[in-house]
């Protein structure tokens, strides 16, 4: 067992974020197989800002999919802050992961 902040993760197996693959259904399937933590594919701050429907779908979580991390990327502090606030208030994610490497 380990923790990220106040989120307890029961085992060390993490489903890595995979662009085009780590959608809500895939993440749920991984949890059904006992994954400790799943991470969404990269979610664009700009896509949330411009209310892209596909991006909203990427942010969906299932009730028994926890813990789940939504991975956010962007390069504008203002839209990153806006997107972070959206994820905090409109999703049931446990962690927001900022991708700073791609």
| Those residues with Cβ within 8 angstroms of residue 26's Cβ, 6 or more apart along the chain or in another chain | 15, 18
Comparing CA positions, the residue from 22, 28, 36, 33 lying closest to residue 71 is 22
Active site residues: 102
29 CB contacts (<8 Å, ≥6 apart)?
none
Kindly give the confidence (pLDDT) of every residue in the chain, 102 residues in length, as a single tens digit, with 9 standing for 90 and above. 999 999 999 999 999 999 999 999 999 999 999 999 999 999 999 999 999 999 999 999 999 999 999 999 999 999 999 999 999 999 999 999 999 886
How high is the pLDDT of residue 85? 98
Please give the pLDDT value at position 100: 86
Q: Residue ranges of the alpha helices (H) in the chain?
A: 24-32, 45-49, 53-58, 77-90
**Computed over its alpha carbons, how large is the radius of gyration of the chain?**
13
Judge contact between 24 and 65, C-beta under 8 A.
yes
Domains delineated in the chain: 2-98 (3.20.20.70)
């Amino acid at each position: 067992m380990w923790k990220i902040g106040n989120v307890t993760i029961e085992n060390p197996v993490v489903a890595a974020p995979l662009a085009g693959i780590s959608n809500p259904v895939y993440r749920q399937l991984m949890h059904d197989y006992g994954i400790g933590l799943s991470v969404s594919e990269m979610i664009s701050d700009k896509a949330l800002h411009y209310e892209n429907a596909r991006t909203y779908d990427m942010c969906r979580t299932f009730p028994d999919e926890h813990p789940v991390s939504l991975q956010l990327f962007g390069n504008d502090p203002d839209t990153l802050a806006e997107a972070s606030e959206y994820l905090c208030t409109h999703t049931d994610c446990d962690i927001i992961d900022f991708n700073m490497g791609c």
